[in-house]
Amino acid sequence: MSRSRLSRRWLPAAAGLGLGLAALLESSAGAQSSWSLVPLEGVRRTGTFGEPPLVENSGVIPSRTQPGILWSVADSDGPPRIYATDTLGEDRGSLRLRGARNVDWEAISAGSCGAGHCLYVADTGDNREQRQSVQLYRIREPRVESLGGEHGTSSRVERLEVRYPDGPHDVEAAFVDGRGDVHLISKGRTSGVRHYRVPAAAWRSPAVVAQPLGVLPIEESRGLGSLVTDAAVSPSGGLVAVRTYGEIFLFHLTGRGTLRPAWVGCGLGGLELQGEGVAWLDDSTLVLTSEGFLGFPGTITLGRCPSS
């Protein structure tokens, strides 16, 4: 669940800004001392989201087949739609996923699906850690011109029910590796930052138990700023960025599908009021997205996080 939900309860502006500052403070205090965190390089804000539902923007993925296009989702209470924008935030249309339900959509990823290329939506948010199962959806990536700048409806959506072997978890981070396996990373709210995998072959069945791959060495949350909100794998497939509200931690994706710490990353203090999304625009440039907050639109920011 996104923190902007708090704004609906009419928190005063000072309290809201305090949440934004929490990420800045946790950037230096929340990470384990073995991580070397440096400021994000080459930072530039390219735009803001103009589409009203994306006030609750909770994930982003650049299209690998349509340069310049970003796909985004809005989290719980939003319609079951994926949204196309460009890096300026301009609306390029949206698509309703037929038969899908947005309980708490928290991530969007892209990857292979058999002989094609798909967008994957993770309905895995669980703020109270009470959901006995969560959902993954995937569709063949649509062409933006087929949307016609309008709000269409998909013709076919695949759905996969997922359970965790050790009970419910709040998961806002997901990525798809080169084999088509979906990786899910828990927020770290109560039992560490846990890494799970859903094999590509699982889509042949209606339901699956995710495979546990271990606990990532990101210090368990001591505040809002250090909770994991998204993850993304680089186009070359070797590097994974795991972001919190205040940091980016870099990992190497091994041949076994596990994540090996690079022990380097970047601090994000002060860049965004409520940043949640991360993706790789190319093998060196990250795109960061923020939710809207207190009447301000969500932002799109580019930057580089040195991996060595």
For residue 308, being part of any structural domain is answered with no
- As a 3-state breakdown, the chain gives helix, strand, coil percent values, each rounded to 5, of 15, 45, 40
Chain center to CA of 148: 26
**Sequence-separated contacts (24+) of 295-299 with Cβ below 8 Å:** 297/48, 297/49, 297/50, 297/55, 297/89, 298/48, 298/49, 298/54, 298/55, 298/57, 298/274, 299/45, 299/47, 299/48, 299/49, 299/272, 299/273, 299/275
For residue 306, being part of any structural domain is answered with no
Tens of pLDDT along the chain (308 residues) come to 544 443 333 323 333 333 343 333 344 444 456 899 999 999 999 999 988 778 888 999 999 999 999 999 998 777 899 999 999 999 999 999 999 999 999 999 999 998 889 999 999 999 999 999 999 999 999 999 888 666 678 878 999 999 999 999 999 999 999 999 999 999 998 889 999 999 999 999 999 999 999 999 997 545 566 899 999 999 999 999 999 999 999 999 999 999 999 999 999 988 888 899 999 999 999 999 999 888 889 999 999 999 86
For residue 127, being part of any structural domain is answered with yes
Q: Total domain count for the chain?
A: 1
pTM of the predicted structure, to 2 decimals: 0.88
For residue 133, being part of any structural domain is answered with yes
Write out the H or E segment, with its range, that includes residue 228: strand 228-233
Distance CA 84, CA 67 (A): 12
Specify which residues 184 forms β-bridges with.
174, 196
For residue 132, being part of any structural domain is answered with yes
Q: Which domain holds residue 122?
A: 3-300
For residue 198, being part of any structural domain is answered with yes
> CATH no. for residue 283?
2.120.10
